[in-house]
Amino acid sequence: MDTARRSQESNAVSPRYAVVLQRLVLVVLLLLISGCRTVPATGDIPQFRQGLASVDQRTSQAFADINAFDRQRMIDFAATQTSLDENHFQLILERSDTEKWKRAFGLIDDYAQLLQKLLDPGQRDGVHKELVVLGEQMGKVRNDELPAGVVSGIASLGGLLVQMKAEQDAMKAIRTADPAIRTTFTLMMTAIGDDQKSGIRGASWATWTKLLTSRVLAFHQANNIARRREIAAQFAADLDGRDAQDRALNSIRRSLDLLSQAHSELAAGRTQGAAGLLELVNAEYARWSTTKSDIEKARESAAKAEGAGK
């Protein structure tokens, strides 16, 4: 009996030791929590905003490239007509389209800027009122002021911001806004084009197709090898230009998806995941730069080929 009691006593944990053990576990947990931050900090938002600005810049440049090509195509077409008509000069993208995209990017950046302030204790006071004002502005944006189909996403985001009338919790704010942000980016991706038959990608591809078709017709009408060689060189340059332009647009689409995912990572408290995704946006920028160079080279090559034939 005494032997059994002594065995139980030796296996029991003393109250004093139990307290020490509890404190040790608490310290380990605190270390783990501090080493794995789950709340975005003020410094996390500028990286998101930089990614947003990068995609905005690339979108404007891609649109400028599309219209520069399209204008040259229309001049070539007009030269074959007996008279000039303004209907010969209908661009793929209206001049206002670039402004619409800039407005969309600007509204998302305005939201991100306020989120950045909400994360900063020194600037937090009154931000909830600014969020409401921004939300009201978003709700008033008209269809013709944003890219095709995007207004519903912005309006949804605006409605959520208006509901944050007394919101001081940055994490709650970003989680509340995340579904509308994702919807907005998805609509922007759709406007760019999910493939070569839809959106701006589809319109651009169709225009290149018309040009390539005209090259084929001219090739069949050519009556000597030198002229056919010239047209074949132009055709090859056009293929390169078409593919490069589509890659540029698709790069913008991928970057919009990465921005959407990065915001969701921040909303989930996974700041490292967000940082990794935003680095991929930078990688897309590098690929876009190469694509832009390809477009310029293709255009120069086509111009030289055409000049040599005159």
For 253-266, what is each residue's pLDDT tens digit?
999 999 999 999 99
Interval 60-77 mean pLDDT: 80
What confidence score (pLDDT) does residue 145 get?
Answer: 96
For the segment 15-37, the average pLDDT, to the nearest whole number, is: 43
pLDDT above 90 (res 183): yes
The pLDDT of residue 167 is 61
Question: What pLDDT does residue 90 have?
Answer: 67
pLDDT bucket at 232, cuts 50 / 70 / 90: very high
What mean pLDDT is reported for the chain? 82
Q: What is the pLDDT of residue 112?
A: 94
Q: For residue 28, what are the contacts with CB-CB under 8 A and spacing of at least 6?
A: none
How far is the C-alpha of 200 from the C-alpha of 221, rounded, in Å? 32
In this predicted model, what pLDDT tens digit does every residue of 114-136 receive, in sequence order?
999 988 888 888 888 899 999 99
pLDDT higher than threshold 50 for residue 98: yes
Which carries the bigger pLDDT value, residue 30 or residue 177?
Answer: 177
pLDDT value for 19 = 45
Closest by Cα among 187, 139, 188 to 163: 139
Which amino acid, one-letter code, is at 283?
Answer: A
Answer whether residue 25 shows pLDDT above 60. no
Per residue in 241-272, is it b (16+ CB within 10 Å) or e — as a string?
bbbbbbbbbbbbbbbbbbbbbbbbbbbbbbbe
Which letter, b or e, does each residue of 58-82 get, where b requires 16 or more Cβ atoms within 10 Å of its Cβ? bbbbbbebbbebbeebbeeeeeeee
pLDDT band at residue 273 under the 50/70/90 scheme? confident
Q: Please, which pLDDT band fits residue 23 given cuts at 50, 70 and 90? A: very low
Q: How confident is the model at residue 284 (pLDDT cuts 50, 70, 90)?
A: confident
3-state secondary structure 287-303: HHHHHHHHHHHHHHHHH
